[in-house]
Structure 1
Amino acid sequence: MPKDRVINSQSFQDGKIVLYQLENRPKQLWLCRLKVPNGTGYLYRGTGTSDFYEARKFADNLYDELRFKVRSGQSVTGQDFKKIFAEFTESYPREAASEKRAAAVCEFIRCYALPYFSKMKITELTEPELTKFFDWRRVNYKKKPPTNATIVSDQGRFKVFTNWCFRRGYITKQIQFRKPSVPDNRRPHFDGKDWARLTRFLREWVKGADGKSGAIYRERVMLTNYVLILANTGIRVGEARTLKWSDIDTFIGDDGKENIVLQVKGKTGAREVVSRTPDVLIYLQRIHELRTKESSGEKPPMTEPIFAHKDGTPIHSFKKGFNSLIKEAGVEYDTNGQRRVIYSLRHTYATFRLQEGVNHYVLARNMGTSVKMLENFYGHTSNRAMASELTKTRSKDRKKLPWEE
């Protein structure tokens, strides 16, 4: 049994089932130890209840499940958590959306889940056990106690691992995570006044790069148009990172206006994003001209990332440059004193579109999110009478993109 002192213990079925409680455990929950039928080992499980009769019912049902698995030739012990995690660290980075995401998931499991589950079998990843794990996580931390928002983020990382285990048959069902409540704080965005201030600053900021090093000019051109594109499309940072020239398209709507469409791939899958304004094409063209000039007049390949270094590899982060930019422009904080971040561009897009009367459902689809999220985080905007949608219908006509001519 675990090292903590047992304060209560009862056994059934000739010792095949043992229910016990441990000292200094919250709520005095019952735990159970089961003798594997026709085997030599034991299984340990949390019952998730402090009621003895409910715990007894849980243990009896679990023991019946074990007997059924043994009769049908299934494994009841599973492989070691540590061994499966080692396999995960080899496999997952190849299928992760980004290196950064893979590193974050693996680091969380290595720092917290691995020490907790290291002596357990992968089949012991049950919802009650995960509840206990996140209770443990709240009092085990590196720098400061985790907030509910941090726990939700941790659950998202661990869910990547449990879903991976399910797809490979190491666990028999997907695990549901009970998320703690997170205050519906408004997301820091740019209001109309600060957005106008920032865009005015950007124009002079790029002009001010004349006479400076080529690297400074390049950084300012790339960051300026990055900011304008994200704020007028609402795409996520990760979606922008993987955006390629071949992902850009146009169509002429029934109103005769040109629309710019981005094919993005993000955490919610692939989708089409209709830009807020056709000016997005101008911002894209500026980057295309920069890349063409850097390649001695040769157009960048259609498969090249739009936000790329001179060697054509994707720029992984604009965080440092963006933080310096908004500080220099005097728009680092919103009216509530919250520090703005790159994701504030996405929040700005959502806020402006709702203020302009775009329907919640249409906007949610364009952003790859849910109506509930919009209502929770952007309820401070007024959803005026719907005057227009992102696009009502689509025409098959399209103009050639400047770099296609």
Structure 2
Amino acid sequence: MASHKVLGDKVRVYRRPNSSVWQCSTYLEGKEWRVSTKTDSLAQAKEFAEDWYFELKGKSRAGGLKKEKTFADAAKQFFLEYEAITSGERNPRYVKDHEARINNHLIPYFGDKALSAVTAGVLQEYRVMRLQTKARTGKPPSRSTLHHETVTLRQVMKTALRHGWIGHLPDFSAPYRASSKINHRAWFSPEEYKQLYSHTRDRAKSAFGLSWQHAAEQLHDFILFMANTGLRPDEANRLEYRDVTIEKDPESKERILVIEVRGKRGVGYCKSTTGAVFPFERLKKRNKPKPTDLVFPQDHKKQFNRVLTDCELKFDRQGNRRSAYSLRHTYICLRLLEGADIYQIAKNCRTSVEMIEKHYAVHLKNTLDAKAINVRRRAKLAPALVLE
């Protein structure tokens, strides 16, 4: 990092590796002060640094140089408040994700900045830095990753606002972006889903008597269970046998599973299709579990990916990568194709109608009503002649 001394080392002018603009810093009243010169000319930067230093000295003599809270101070306060207030209401993993984003990305960049210096322009510089830094490794952060980091940053700044450390929040919106393209979630069409479970069924049969028979049978039942319940993978990982009961639906007279789900939104309920009953009964018969045992104690990620590769189903037509989450998306899409009520699907999947309409319903042909679309206005009859 290029650095130059000004006024006998009272001020330091420096330039970060990823920036063409010179910065300057000094040490007054037990604190380091920094500011951008907003110029790429070293001579102009040195002049700016001298004027800025003498201005700070004048404020210091007049007692007008207050010690301002830094972003790191606000982040520390955010940790204290957020974990205590959301205890029991937010998934601990969600809280840890906030902490990881702050420690890994936000504190290294914003930590020593005064809160008033965290402006919309600085936030945009941060976005550019993140994209350029990761781009050199060949793996730039996704749009959702940057969005989550901005959400965490906003939470920290809101904490500072509540305590009166800043007067207003900066603009956190990303400039230069039109409305982003809405992509549907990767799922399995009815034909692809049949291909998938047929392959795992044959695979389980061929493993009879081998060391991996149990794993193959568990994977087959996992796929059927997930595609007929719509559970998220993390919800399935926490599911215990005592959370699942087999009941007879009073309307359809069919047996279904009633599941008490513990997920990112707390405790909710799910009613499966009848296709989830037999896989669950096989799981109970095979594992002879206690009520508190996990339904799926093993992680099927590697085995599931291998099956997807063998079936050439790892990617959908748009190039979206499929995973265990795609079984949840398959459940939602198949329910919509069957004409199920979108509000009831949202309730059963513990999500919103807006999310389903945005990511699922837009690409299913049966959500369009041809009769309502192809309306034709009836031709007006010519007025009858009046005969006198």
Q: CA deviation at 1:257?
A: 3.0
Counterpart in 2 of 1:305? 294
Q: Which residue of 2 aligns with 1:323?
A: 305
The Cα shift of 1:307 comes to 1.1
Task: Give the distance between the partners of 1:241 and 1:372, measured in 2 at CA.
Answer: 26
Q: Which of 10, 32, 39 in structure 2 is aligned with 1:23?
A: 39
* C-alpha deviation, 1:113, in angstroms: 0.7
Letter in 1 for 2:39: E
SS of 1:80's partner is helix
Aligned pair count reads: 317
For residues 243-258 of structure 1, the aligned pairs below 5 Å read 243-249=239-245, 250-258=247-255
1:380 to 355, 360, 363: 363
Shift of 1:240: 1.1
Over 3 Å counting, the alpha-carbon distance change for 1:192 and 1:121 in structure 2 is same
**Offset of residue 157 of structure 1:** 5.8
The reply to whether residue 41 of structure 1 matches residue 66 of structure 2 is yes
Call closer, same or farther: CA 1:264–1:254 in 2, change over 3 Å: same
Partner of 1:351: 333
CA displacement 1:63-90 (0-9 Å, x = unmatched): xxxxxxxxxxxxx678635755887999
Q: Who is 2:141 aligned against?
A: 146
**Whole-angstrom CA distance in 1 between matches of 2:151 and 2:130:** 14
Percent identity over the alignment is 26
**Using the alignment, how far apart are the partners of 2:187 and 2:71 within structure 1?**
48
Q: Indicate the RMSD between aligned Cα atoms, in angstroms.
A: 4.4
Structure 1 pair 82–165 and aligned structure 2 pair: CA distance change class (3 A): closer
Alpha-carbon offset, residue 117 of structure 1: 1.9
- SS at structure 2 position matched to 1:186: coil
Structure 1 residues 172-214: Cα deviation after superposition (integer angstroms, max 9, x where no partner) = 999996476542112221112111111111211111111211x
State the match for 1:395 in structure 2: none
CA distance in 2, matches of 1:176, 1:333: 37
Identify which of 189, 203, 206 aligns with 2:204: 206
Note the C-alpha offset of 1:217: 1.9
Deviations 1:226-278 (A, max 9, x none): 11111111111111111122222335323433332212122233321121x22
2:158, 2:169 within 8 Å by CA — same for their partners in 1?
no
Contact 1:162 1:175 in 2 (8 A): no
259, 264, 274: which one pairs with 2:261? 264
Counterpart CA distance in 2 for 1:170 and 1:211 is: 69
Query: What residue identity is the alignment partner of 2:185?
Result: R
Match of 1:186 among 184, 187, 191: 184
In the TM superposition, what whole-angstrom CA distance separates every residue of 1:82-107 from its partner, at most 9, and x where no partner exists?
755887999899977365x5665444
Matched, 1:338 2:320: yes
Take 1:349 and 1:41, find their aligned partners in 2: how far apart are those partners?
58
Unmatched runs of 5 consecutive residues or more in structure 1: 8-18, 25-31, 44-75, 293-298, 309-314, 387-405
1:368-394, CA deviations, whole angstroms, 9 ceiling, x for partnerless residues? 2222222222211134599xxxxxxxx
Name the CA distance, whole Å, in 1 between partners of 2:232 and 2:148: 17
Give the whole-Å Cα distance in 1 for the aligned partners of 2:183 and 2:130: 24
The answer on whether the counterparts of 2:70 and 2:112 sit within 8 Å (CA) in structure 1 is: no
Rounded Cα–Cα distance in structure 2 between residues aligned with 1:344 and 1:385: 23
Distance in 1, Cα, partners of 2:252 & 2:145: 46
* Deviation at residue 6 of structure 1 after TM alignment: 7.3
CA contact (8 A) 1:185 1:377 kept: yes
Q: The residue matched to 1:22 in structure 2 has which SS?
A: coil
Larger Rg: 2
Aligned to 1:97: 91
Deviation per residue, 1:100-125 (Å, 9 max, x gap): x5665444333311211221367977
Structure 2 vs 1, CA of residues 370 and 223 (structure 1 numbering), >3 Å: closer, same or farther?
same
Q: What is the one-letter code of the residue matched to 2:144?
A: A
Give the TM-score normalised by the residue count of structure 2.
Answer: 0.65
- Separation in 1 of the partners of 2:203 and 2:230? 23
The CA deviation at 1:218 is 2.2
TM-score, normalised on structure 1? 0.63
1:79 to 1:324, Cα distance in 2 relative to 1, 3 A = closer
Q: Which is further off, 76-85 or 354-363?
A: 76-85
Change (3 A) 1:278 1:98: farther
1:285 to 275, 281, 295: 281
Determine which of 195, 198, 201 is the counterpart of 1:197: 195
Q: Partner of 1:287: helix, strand, or coil?
A: helix
Give, as a single letter, the amino acid of the residue that structure 1 aligns with 2:195. R
Distance 1:272 1:383, change over 3 A: farther
- Aligned match of 1:241: 237
Cα 1:162–1:224, aligned 2, differ >3 Å: closer, same or farther? farther
How far residue 165 of structure 1 moved from its aligned partner, in angstroms, is 5.7
Change (3 A) 1:263 1:90: closer
In the alignment, is the contact (CA less than 8 A) between 1:80 and 1:122 conserved in 2? no
Which amino acid is 1:146 matched to? P
Alpha-carbon distance in 2 for matches of 1:157, 1:319: 29
